[in-house]
Amino acid sequence: MHYGYVSINNDIIFLVMSNGDAAGAYNVVWTIQNGEVIDRFINRDF
């Protein structure tokens, strides 16, 4: 399963992705402000 979406809150962009294959899955949330990545959160769902 692969999916993603973008949420914009004022000048902050949240890019959310969920990816995986038969071996496992992971979710990533990127936080972007003023064109720069300010945070990245990775959750592995095994």
Q: What is the pLDDT of residues 1-46, one digit of tens each?
A: 567 888 888 889 999 998 888 778 889 999 999 999 999 999 986 5
pLDDT at position 9 is 86
Residue from 7, 14, 43 nearest 30 by CA: 14
Reported as a single tens digit per residue, the pLDDT across 19-29 is: 888 778 889 99
**Beta-sheet strand order (sheet of 12-21):** 3-9, 12-21, 24-33, 36-45
Q: Are 1 and 20 in contact (CB under 8 A)?
A: yes
Pairing of strands 24-33, 3-9: unpaired
pLDDT at position 4 is 85
pLDDT at position 22 is 74
Q: Are 45 and 27 in contact (CB under 8 A)?
A: yes
Q: Which residue's structure tokens are 């064109």? A: 35
pTM: 0.72
